[in-house]
Structure 1
């Protein structure tokens, strides 16, 4: 995963990790518009949107691509779950009703009428970047994009836009979404195994996040918020972003971080955990970590675009050591996450 933290750091990191992208970064980002004037550095402006992930039963949700097959199926489940879905957007179908809710022609119109706090982007990958951009333009606080295979150049443009503003936070793409169990579900998580509780979970892998959920549910801890960072090379929310969310979230008493091969997100997370432990020597939240992909062959994508171990990349073992050295308790597999977290919490 390569999180774009600013134009300068983007170019530096992409030069090391993906030479082709670095050569074309400047050209593909010409003409990018600034959506809000913050007076802050890019990192600081976008970081202000981290609290937007504090979803709950009062979060008003719309769907982009609302009348499509995938969105319809997901929205039915999400409404049944209790999420406050208030309408959606489908170009060419504005003015109609779908699932008993209003359909609007544009995101701007839906925002003006419904005042949503979040939007679920359920459009094909080739159109997803445009849909995300429209949501940023409308200043919707939280955008969740589940689509896989969004073109990398499209996501580079989205990231440059994101970091010109301080209103909208993106989770995804290529992710299961974000959920506050029992209150609000934005994405495709198999919600029946989730339970409201006290453990915050962030994971690159959707499947492993479900395993961590199952493990923490089984021991009676439950989850406060679960963030799917996603398997895209250019995620809108990183492990560090989610950690910052959980460290300031009162309902979260323990934190689970699940990484994998590819990128440097785990090393950045380790740096933050080390700083957190140094600044909080006694009163601190326990952090359990796991890194998958220790047996992955070099040069083979393992499941999604970001899970790729290239020559010269940091190995899964090295990432696990960095997290352990920082103070996280590293476990070998997700089945023990629940019992280990319960032990650390003294419960």
Structure 2
């Protein structure tokens, strides 16, 4: 081929290739989304500073605060003005629900009679970012006069509150998410996080159990999940129960009479032997000798069991993960009850 022809062919080949694909433009977030991301990032940075502070000098004061609260014979009194007061209310509620008796006292109302709520055996936890909140003056003075324990949560250790406190939890300086640097945002996030940290440290120090947690949270799905199996199980004459050696005809009658789709099999001495479910019956329904068989011929010798103290949330997790509808409740190797999936649904845990 002539050089000119070769060049022409190459140009033709080049023209036949598809144009290069440009990357699709990434849409810019809306102003509202961009603002939300900046706010969360700023508060996240503040929490990171708080974590760093606890790992350094603040950790010593935090330990002292926990020890003071654990040994208090009275209640924890939260107080604070404005946004700090709202955070104080939440911390008080968290303390109370996790085993630390607590209440919130409004500092302005304290000056007009509510100081009577504060007793010498109590510990006051006062929140003020500046530490110079005017409304806190009377409750601080009262705490010092009557030797009430005082813990400060402030960003200014040299403030009136910081100096008067037995323990000062000094928050690190951090930029507020507000573009004007004024509205309490990062500061209240750090206050709240530190309050939660105190509550959990106290919970762990006291060995506060899920059972005790359930006592203070009886309502809703959370309350239901913290109830125990013994509260909903079928016991005594309600249990579908036969002994080893029982003919299948009688076992089927027991399944039908009790209506749980299963029958629990026990040894002569009452120990658990196994379970026969309606699924076992369906798998053997065409056996000609079904009626003449003893119950142990069809039973599963390794049924799923729980103790009476098992939380309903755990019982539900077992049933759903194992795809079973009944759990045998066992105590000292003997069945004492049966809990059905429908019982858990009725309890509100699911």
Specify the TM-score bucket, using the shorter chain as the normaliser: under 0.3
TM-score (structure 2 length as normaliser): 0.26
Determine which structure has the larger helix proportion and give its number. Answer: 2
Higher Rg of the two aligned structures: 2
TM-score (structure 1 length as normaliser): 0.26
